[in-house]
Amino acid sequence: MTQVPVIMPQSITQIGSFTAIDNDFLGVGLEDYLAIAPDACSGFGDAPVRATVYDAPGRHGALVYPPKDGALAMTLVGDLVVTSTGHSVEEGYFEAVAALYASLKAALDALRDAPDDLIHLDGSMKVWKNGPLDPAWTSFYTLRVTFALVQDVFA
């Protein structure tokens, strides 16, 4: 039996063409970056099992098929952190947030059209965009983003 790597959201270093991801233990040291919030992410465990029992059409009973894994769908949540301009009251702060958001959105939009790599500590996998990019401002003028990806097992 092969060992399946555990994907830790906080170990992600690249999503498609988006590389501005920094998590404290990686020590990348970027000024403006996406800080993934692992406690808010979901779907990094095991794929759900697809239905294996179906009603038999025109007969009593059911058709039973061997179980197969469904899609590994992951939801990522993170904060867009901007330090290149200083605090949120500094000139250029919101423009830098908007530029970082636009970069993430462009990378995710590209994943809508073709799969690309999600790179993490234990390797990489091909992923597609699987839901909208949902931005929300926190009370500290930090833009929190939520988005979903799905693994492409054929790529």
What average pLDDT does the segment 91-110 reach?
Answer: 96
What are the domain boundaries of the chain?
9-44+71-151
How many Å from the N-terminal Cα to the C-terminal Cα in the chain?
22
Mean per-residue pLDDT of the chain: 89
More confident residue, 92 or 155: 92
pLDDT above 90 (res 44): no
- CATH (one of 1.20.120, 2.40.30, 1.10.10, 2.40.10) for 9-44+71-151: 2.40.30
Contacts of 95 (CB under 8 A, 6+ apart): 85
> Cα–Cα distance between 47 and 69 in angstroms, integer?
6
Task: Give this prediction's pTM.
Answer: 0.85
Identify the DSSP state of 24. Answer: G
Write down the pLDDT at residue 1. Answer: 40
Identify the pLDDT of residue 4.
54
3-state secondary structure of 127: strand
- Give ∠ CA 130-132-135 in degrees, rounded to 5: 135
Q: Residue 113 — pLDDT band, cuts 50, 70, 90? A: very high
Beta bridge pairs of residue 73:
150
What is the number of other CB atoms lying within 10 angstroms of the CB of residue 10?
18
